Amino acid sequence: MSKTKWKKYALGFVSASAVVLSACGGGEDPATDTGGQTGGAAENDGNTLEVGVESDYVAYVEAIAPAFEEEHGVTIEVTERDMFEILEALPLDGPSGLAPDVMLAPYDRIGGLGQQGHLAPVTLPDDGRYDEVDQQQVTIDGTQYGSPFVIEALVMYWNQDLLDSAPQTFEDLEALTEDERFAFESESGKSTAFLTNWVDFYNSYGLLSGYGGYVFGQDGTDPSDVGLNTPGAIEGIEYATQWFQEVWPQGMLDVTSAGDFIDEQFISGKAAAIINGPWGAANYNTNEVNYSVAPVPTLPNGNEYEPFGGGKGWIINNYSENLEIAEEWLNFVTNEENMMLLHEEYTNEVPANQHARTAIQETGEDELAVAVIEQYNNAVPMPNIPEMAEVWTGAETMMFDAGSGNKTPEQAANDAVQIISDNIEQKY
């Protein structure tokens, strides 16, 4: 199994997005080919292009920069800074000339920043490196404001010392709860055979979506249509409620500690299968868990689990004086060779580049990456409009309210949608 260096961004950008947005209202050539639309190097007159990235990406950028510098006659200056700090400061730092020319952003932040005028529009290369879903991640109101860089999605980890093969359906997971090996000693009749943090909306969305729920209508672009209380979504919440009330220990309803509890049970061999993001692998590697990875099993209704499809894209500071060369950088850093270099030598993240993804699947050497790619094919791009910030707040207690019995699944869903809709109406 490939040892991974994933860093957890998904849940981090959820909270950061909520704070900032509510406040604001096979065919590519080697690394020297940018794949751009301009037909050659942009005129730069020896200017410096500032690339702002977190520490995890500094060595990667420094490794590929010389080829770009030689091709375009520009000096790459790498600035190390927290991604969210850069994004939160952009509205002020951009006009002041203090922001980097190019930087990274979670997909759910790109649309809002683009709408607010802080990002330069881009034209993505027409060379097959991106499909429609990839493009949707960086598009709002028909305009593209970034280049897809890496992708992530929740997957299933299963313990090879406890199971002979990966569970294929949720019925398989239900059957595991009858195995006395996974009985929870502190609570009679409860099982830790299969665990997932459904009290957290980011994690439970794949269940609701698989049952027919959705965040916003029109592929996440219509905030007047909140679909978390559709009959399908309510059916999904009802199914989760059965796990909370009949199978799982009470601690699974604690949103602040459920994630740690799940990891503890999996690492100690008391949970046979769990759902988590690719960032969880580092912890399991450190603790020498003999795990394997697979897409999340098929739901009881026969549909696939449909989690949020997340990741990060490269964006351009709209106040930059180097817009042309900045777009060349976006095309260059996301070409197949550079994407494979990132995956194999640096962060192990899964490239958004379709040609690189195909190469990873064909070799099959990185089981985690293959599982992420397969799951991402059933994932739903997270809405990247500013109103998404209100969803996290509105849905924060939805699953707890239903799972604890404080409300019926229908009441919990209706109340969450009401909060979301009211906040959107008041703020936007």
Q: Which residues contact 268 (CB under 8 A, 6 or more apart)?
A: none
Question: Where do the H-state alpha helices sit in 148-294?
Answer: 170-176, 201-210, 217-220, 231-242, 258-267, 281-286
If one counts every other C-beta atom within 10 angstroms of the C-beta of residue 173, the result is 24
Residue 347 in contact with residue 3, Cβ under 8 Å?
A: no
- Give the model's pLDDT for residue 362: 96
Structure tokens at 273: 């299968």
- Give the model's pLDDT for residue 12: 40
**Span 369-413, pLDDT tens digits:** 999 999 999 999 999 999 999 999 999 999 999 999 999 999 999
Pick out the chain residues at pLDDT < 50: 1-46
- Give the model's pLDDT for residue 37: 36
In angstroms, the CA 234 to CA 13 distance is: 26
Point out which residues pair with 314 in neighbouring strands: 104, 147
pTM for the model stands at: 0.88
Q: Which residues contact 302 (CB under 8 A, 6 or more apart)?
A: none
CA atoms within 13 A on the CB side of 377: 10
- Give the model's pLDDT for residue 404: 97
- Give the model's pLDDT for residue 19: 35
- Give the model's pLDDT for residue 34: 41
Q: Which residues contact 415 (CB under 8 A, 6 or more apart)?
A: 398, 401, 407
- Of 111, 156, 59, nearest to 313 (Cα)? 111
In angstroms, the CA 45 to CA 28 distance is: 27
- Give the model's pLDDT for residue 35: 41
- Give the model's pLDDT for residue 247: 98
Structure tokens at 243: 């796990």
Element (H, E) at 105: strand 102-106
Structure tokens at 380: 């739903």
- How many Å separate Cα 129 from the centre of its chain? 19
Structure tokens at 161: 């010392």
DSSP designation for 81: -
- Of 136, 157, 118, nearest to 289 (Cα)? 157
- Give the model's pLDDT for residue 3: 37
- How many Å separate Cα 156 from the centre of its chain? 15
**Span 99-117, pLDDT tens digits:** 999 999 999 999 999 999 9
- Give the model's pLDDT for residue 5: 45
* CA distances for 227 relative to 16, 34, 397, angstroms: 23, 40, 16
* CA distances for 63 relative to 57, 338, 341, 342, angstroms: 10, 10, 10, 10
Residue 87, judged by CB atoms within 10 A of its CB (0-12, 13-18, 19+), counts as buried
